[in-house]
Amino acid sequence: MKQLIVLIGAIFCSLSIFGQTVKVTGKVFDVYTGNPLPDVSIHITDGTGAKTDENGAFSIACQVSKEITVSHVSYEAFKFICTEQSKEMKIGLIPTSYNLNEVSITS
């Protein structure tokens, strides 16, 4: 009987860990210039998301152990796992550079 009670207690403790929701807030900025980045997309693997404001600030609620992707069309995407320690984030994005082939214009 004692083993059954311990087993049930362990199951309830593990379920509460997976159901924890954390409010993640932070700022997204350009890693080279330090300027805040507006309209950056923040997506969670469960389908929810948010965007940064004009100051690069965001706030989103996520469950512990879910993956969060921070992306912008002109920058490399950044991914991290939501934990209890990721409540206040400062995320620096690296600009992408694309080399284009030579273009010749003749008239």
Report CA-CA distances (Å) from 45 to 1, 3, 23, 31.
40, 37, 15, 25
Q: Is 94 helix (H, G, I), strand (E, B) or coil?
A: coil
Class of domain 21-93: mainly beta
Q: Is 52 helix (H, G, I), strand (E, B) or coil?
A: coil
Where does 4-101 show beta strands of DSSP type E? 21-30, 41-44, 49-51, 57-63, 67-72, 75-81, 88-93
Q: What does pLDDT average to over the chain?
A: 83
Say what the pTM is: 0.70
Residue type, 41: S
- Residue position matching structure tokens 């929701």: 21
The pLDDT of residue 6 is above 80: no
* Each residue's pLDDT tens digit, 56-104: 999 999 888 889 999 999 999 999 988 887 778 899 999 987 666 778 8
Sequence ranges of the domains in the chain: 21-93
Report CA-CA distances (Å) from 29 to 4, 18, 32, 80, 101.
52, 31, 9, 16, 30
| Residues 46, 62: Cα–Cα separation, whole Å | 9
Find out whether 82 and 19 touch, Cβ atoms under 8 Å: no
